[in-house]
Amino acid sequence: MTNTLVVAPQWIGDAVMAEPLLAALAARGETLSVAALPWVAPVFRAMPQVGESVELPFAHGRLDWAARRRVASSLRGRFDAAYVLPNSIKSALVPWLARVPLRIGYQGEGRMLLLNRRLPNPEGRPPMVAFYGALAGADFDASSRPSLHLDGAAIDAVLSASGLPRRGFWVFAPGAEYGPAKRWPADHYAALARSLHAADGAPIVLLGSKGEAALCESIAADAPGACRVLAGKTSLFDAMALIAASRGLASNDSGLMHVAAGFGVAQVAVFGSTSPEHTPPLNADARVLWLKDELKLDCMPCFDRTCRFGHYACLVGVSPDRVEAALRDATQAQSENLPA
């Protein structure tokens, strides 16, 4: 049996899209431990194939050399192989310092000495599931979809604490840490909230980080009585449980979009500056709205944090009515496919 360490990506969406790789490794008999930063570690609690989570005490963007040496010392002698998913030099240091015999990853930022099985850096922006899955070798199924699972009792506990009924609410994730060029307009979210709530009174739960709380409050203020703002008030684990128990989710291209896809939740994802060819929600019950061909904007996708022209037309042009129609189509399709 091979004991394997996986050094996880630092972003929520990338962590979800790494799940098919972990599933492939577990299926061929490898025992998995995942080393992850604290803000992404809860994602791996929703992957049953992960036996152990090693939380990395590193500050974002810092070398933290002494801390990396301490972590590596605690891991030395435990692993036969390590898969390093991020492309940075820092991410490859712990397996190297821990003297893991086989260290696998992309060439990345000149990691010739740190990794002893290196894949060439791909050109452009390949689909992330296939990007990670290639590390498992030729037997990886590039069509795999991420799959997340939480214990029903854990979900019920979060619902009880929040006072929400299972399948009795919608979730919006209106933020995107990357920047405003990924955010569907707040007034569009508010219009969608008003319409959904008017239909049957189901509340709309607004999720996100503390930094997105003000955005969510502005949406709630523009949709009186429709929304509950939980942005900045839940842990990531609790947010995942709420998404898993919701009727459906409307979001931008964000980490919580991928969480919903992993749980198979009916969802609509609005893309603007980024491309669904690179990071789509891999979910049969997802509807993607990306108007590149319709709007005929040569700048799409620009992958910029802010719109270089200042108009954000790629996002403004996606109407609330269109998102609602897509969301209702996704939920209807899902209900028809549920077992009797």
Q: Where are the alpha helices (DSSP H) in 124-185?
A: 128-133, 152-162
Q: Convert the pLDDT of each residue in 156-175 to its tens digit.
A: 999 999 999 999 999 999 98
Q: Which among 117, 122, 114, 112 is positioned nearest to 142, based on CA atoms?
A: 122
First to last CA, the chain: 41
The DSSP annotation for 35-84 comes to: EE-TTTHHHHTT-TTEEEEEE----TT---HHHHHHHHHHHTTS-SEEEE
- For each of the domains in the chain, give its residue range(s) and CATH number, in order of start: 2-136 (3.40.50.2000), 152-337 (3.40.50.2000)
DSSP conformation class of 18: T
Could you tell me the CA-to-CA distances from 122 to 41, 128, 149, 193, 204 in Å, in that order? Answer: 27, 11, 31, 41, 40
- Please give the residue that has the higher pLDDT: either 13 or 180: 13
Band of pLDDT at residue 193, cut at 50, 70 and 90: very high
> Cα–Cα distance between 233 and 181 in angstroms, integer?
25
The CA-CA-CA angle for residues 329, 262, 103, to 5°, reads 150
Band of pLDDT at residue 340, cut at 50, 70 and 90: very low
pLDDT at 234 over 70: yes
pLDDT at 6 over 80: yes
Which amino acid is present at 243? Answer: I
Q: Which among 252, 255, 215, 213 is positioned nearest to 234, based on CA atoms?
A: 213
Cis peptide bond upstream of 95, omega within 30 = no
Q: Which positions ≥6 away from 115 have C-beta within 8 Å?
A: 84, 92, 96, 103, 104, 105, 107, 108
Q: Convert the pLDDT of each residue in 79-121 to its tens digit.
A: 999 999 999 999 999 999 999 999 999 998 889 999 999 999 9
pLDDT at 338 over 90: no
> Cα–Cα distance between 71 and 132 in angstroms, integer?
24
Q: Where are the alpha helices (DSSP H) in the chain?
A: 12-17, 19-27, 41-44, 65-75, 89-97, 128-133, 152-162, 186-200, 213-221, 236-244, 255-263, 292-295, 313-316, 320-337
Question: Per the structure block, which two tokens stand in for 124?
Answer: 């452009």
Q: Convert the pLDDT of each residue in 267-277 to its tens digit.
A: 999 999 888 98
Q: Where are the alpha helices (DSSP H) in 136-212?
A: 152-162, 186-200
- What is the value of pTM for the model shown? 0.94
Q: Which positions ≥6 away from 268 have C-beta within 8 Å?
A: 248, 249, 250, 251, 286, 287, 288, 289, 323, 326, 327, 330
